Structures are given as C-alpha cells and as structure tokens.
Homo-oligomer: A and B are copies of this chain.
Amino acid sequence: MSETATDLDAEDRRGETGTSLDEDDRMKPEFVAAVIDRVEAGDTEGARALVAPLHPADLADLFELAPSDQRRPLATALAEMLDGDVLAEMNDWVREELIDALQPHEVAELATHLDTDDAVAIIEDMEEDDQRAVLRAMEPDDRAAIEEALSFPEESAGRLMQRDLIAVPEHMTVGGVLDYLRYHEDLTTDFWEIFVVDAGHHPVGTCKLSWILRTPREVAVADVMAREQTLIPVDMDQEEVALRFQKYALISAAVVDQAGRLVGMITVDDIVHIIQEEAGEDILRLSGAGDGDINEPILTTVRTRLTWLIINLGTAAISASVVGLFQGTISQLVVLAVLMPIVSAMGGNAGTQTMAVSVRALALNQLPPSNTRRIIFREFRIAVMNGLCLGLLLGVTVYLIYGMASLGVVICLSMIINNLIAGLAGVLVPVSLDKAGADPAVSSAVFVTTATDVMGFFSFLGLAALWGLHS
C-alpha cells in the first residue's frame, strides 16, 4: 500500500486552478456548469481537459456541487481521474452513492492505492456483503491490514492509524537511518517523525526529521530522540486523540497495542478533519439536526430531525399542561397569556447561553470535577445579575404599559426565578449527562428548555394566581 507515486501525482495535478475557484477558494458555479454541459453534450475529452488541473480535494468538491442526478454520468466520464485520493476527500454520502455503482474489484483496486486509514474510511460504510467482496478482491497483505483495522471499534485510534511508518532500533546512527531510508524504495514517504523502538518493538523515543537532518551521521539516534512521547492506545476514542494532538501540538504520534508494542502511526492531517468535525458536531447535536450533512439522503434527514421534534413536542406538551393548570387565572386577566411567552422565552435564551458554554468547556476538557463547583457558582452569580437587570427592566415596562404595579412585580420576580433555573440547569444538565457517560451535546437542550419553559410558566402564572391578579 505504498503511495509514493500517488502523492507526487496529487501535487502535480493541483496545477492552475485560477479559473475554477473564486477568491475564497470555493468552486465557481460557472465552472461546475461548464463541466456538466460538456458531459451532457457527450464531450468527454472536453470535460476531462477542464478538470485535469484540479487538486483531488477540488475534484471531490465538483461532485458534491453537481446536482445528484448528474453525479453518475459525471463519474462515468471522469472514471479514470476518480482515484482513491478523490474519494477520500469526498463527502461520505456522495461517495457512498458513487461506490455503490462500482464493481467490488474496482473498489478493491482503488483501496489498494490508499493509506490504510483512507481505505478503511471507504470500506467501513459499505454493506457487509459488499465489504467481503471487496476484501476478497484485494492482495492478501492489504486485506489483512484492512481487516485488522476494521476489528477496532469505530472512531477509535485503530481505525485512524496507518500501518506504514518508519521505526528504527536505538543503536542505529543517524547515518544508518539515512542509508536505510535511501536504499529501501518500498518505504512510505508520508512521515514527519521516525520512531525508535527496543527489541520488543516498544517505542522508546521519537525523532523529528529536522533533528535527523541537522545531526552528524555518526551520532546514535538514541542521542537525538525525545524520550518523552505521547503514545496513543489503539482503542482510544478519536475525540480524545484529537485533544491530545491539540494539547501537545503533535505532528504525528505512535499508536501502541495493549502490550505497549508499536502498531501504527497517526498524523495530524487526519486529525484536523476530526477536530473540525467534533467541534462542529456539537452545534448540530444541540439543535437536534443529527449529522447536519447537506448531502445526506433527504429521508434520513427527515427521520433524524422528526425524532427530535417529536421528543420536543412531548416536552412542549408538558409546558402547555402547566399553562393548563392556570386557565382560570388567565381568564381573569387575559394579558397574562400575552406576557407569559416572554418569561419562558427569556429563560430559554439564558439557559441556552449557559448550556453552550458548558458543552463547549466539557468538549475541551476544561470542566474536570475539580472545576465544576466553581463554574456552578460563577453561573449562579451571572444568573442573579442578569435576572435582576432583565426583571427590573421588564417589570417597570409592564407597569408603565398596563398600569398594574402588582403585574410588574410578578413578572419581575418570575424573570429572576427563571434566570436562576436557567443558569443552574445550563450547567447541571450537561455536567450530569457527561458524568453519566452520555454526550451532553445530544440531549442537554431538551432538559434545559423543558426546565425553563415549565418554570417560566409556573412561576409567572403561579405568582399571578397567588396574588389574585384580575382585570
């Protein structure tokens, strides 16, 4: 699975993209249209000539931007350019659509030219039968590497890592390393550090290539390497891997099995995608938009979003039933129905602010147990200050408009109460979910907005009923 040639080709192909991309590096609509026009007119050569200078990432974009009914003919016309690098860059859903149209031996042929991690990314989403057919069509070595990768849990270091890496024994000199690299043509070229291992293949140190380049030939690698390294266990979750890369500013890291033996390497370019995904995922999860992928089949999207909306319908019904308890109070003073959505909406807004901050801090490992009490106290103080300001502002306004001091006091008090509920729920809900092992981004919003809606209606209408407000 060496890819010396592929990598260099990719660099060459990028070429002059000035005509296809706008100044923000996005593909121009006219360019997409021009390619599709040629494909439709049967001018395959013309279409190929247009896309020839594109970088694989841009060629992948072209497919994503083409209308879905045009992707199949486009793929047929550009088949020979559609190599593994392009597929690896492509959106999951768009790729799946294309892969489905290929024969297993064609997929196997593509996967053979990829790094293990990219090949796994393509194969792991296939149906089991198709997966087996593809694996059968591969060379035994490649197949074994992919099967091993697939044996690790999804989204774990084992799936992310590549097996092609450079490992040398401690006693080797810098000169020995240089000769080893120069005279073994089948070695990977895709590495930024070399790993130094002991006789049992346990990593004992890491050398940046720049250190090798700057050291005389006769020095032993053991004398230049950094002994302290961040080792990644093969079953570590990819989000955790990404946090380590970020925290320690890593370029590559050794992956070790349970026995501490070096089994693979993860490089930062694969991590960059994960950081982007994981950090962006929370916003979509908090809103119940699932993966939020604009290329997802529409029925999948509807199913994900509808599930979430139906759960919310249930919680909205709970809040409504609280209002239902006070129908008598409302019929005494209809303006309560006018004002009550303000109290619940403001609680929802304040709760969402606190919740977003907490979810983010949890994702960044900034909210360890030692810090939780401090953050709860911090949010409590913020809620008191915000509640007082908003309560007074709203209370005075309501008094001025409706001329009822009692109504002003009631809405002021209920705003303060609901801000406190919002602040506490905004921290406690995500932290408790995290402690219980659930993803706080997925379900915090239901609990927090239910709390602020219920308490908003209950405190406002309840205080009004207690006070005996009527018109």
Contacts and interface: CB of A to CB of B under 8 A. Distances in A.
A308 B353 CA distance: 10
Nearest to A185: B214
Interface in A335-390: 335, 337-342, 344-346, 349-350, 352-357, 359-361, 363-371, 374-375, 378, 381-382, 385-386, 389-390
Interface in A195-236: 208-216, 226-230
Given A246-B276, A279-B275, A366-B294, A210 B228 contact: no
Nearest to A213: B181
A406 to B, nearest CB: 19
A14 interface: yes
A289 B57 CA distance: 34
Interface stretch (A37-45, A146-154, A258-266, A316-324): A316-324
| Residue of A13, A327, A360, A375 with most partner-chain B CB within 10 A | A360
A191 B210 contact: yes
Nearest to A15: B228
| Residue of A29, A240, A247 with most partner-chain B CB within 10 A | A247
A306 B389 contact: yes
Interface in A177-204: 177-178, 181-182, 187, 189-192
Contact of A356 (B28, B65, B287, B331): B287
Contacts of A104: none
A204 to B, nearest CB: 13
| Residue of A32, A210, A378 with most partner-chain B CB within 10 A | A210
A416 to B, nearest CB: 13
A294 B191 contact: no
Contact of A320 (B22, B33, B301, B339): B339
B319 A350 contact: no
A367 B294 contact: yes
A83 interface: no
Give the interface residue-count category, chain A. Answer: 35 or more
B244 A25 contact: yes
A423 to B, nearest CB: 10
Copies in the complex: 2
| Residue of A67, A368, A394 with most partner-chain B CB within 10 A | A368
B292 A273 contact: no
A405 to B, nearest CB: 19
Interface stretch (A74-82, A119-127, A129-137, A248-256): A248-256
A27 interface: yes
Contacts of A101: none
A412 interface: no
Contacts of A327: 334-335, 337-338
Interface string A8-46: 100111110000001011111100110000000000000
A213 B344 CA distance: 65
23 contacts: A25-B243, A28-B370, A33-B370, A250-B269, A251-B251, A268-B272, A275-B276, A276-B279, A280-B363, A287-B353, A287-B355, A289-B356, A294-B366, A294-B367, A298-B381, A306-B390, A309-B350, A316-B341, A323-B341, A327-B334, A330-B330, A334-B337, A341-B341
Given A189-B208, A251-B268, A337-B340, 13 more contacts: A13-B228, A14-B230, A55-B248, A65-B370, A182-B216, A246-B272, A249-B269, A276-B364, A283-B359, A305-B382, A309-B390, A341-B341, A341-B344
Interface of A: 8, 11-15, 22, 24-29, 32-33, 55, 57, 64-65, 67, 89, 177-178, 181-182, 187, 189-192, 208-216, 226-230, 240, 243-251, 268-269, 271-273, 275-276, 279-280, 282-284, 286-289, 292, 294, 298, 301-302, 305-306, 308-310, 312-313, 316-317, 319-321, 323-324, 327, 330-331, 334-335, 337-342, 344-346, 349-350, 352-357, 359-361, 363-371, 374-375, 378, 381-382, 385-386, 389-390, 393-394, 449, 453, 457
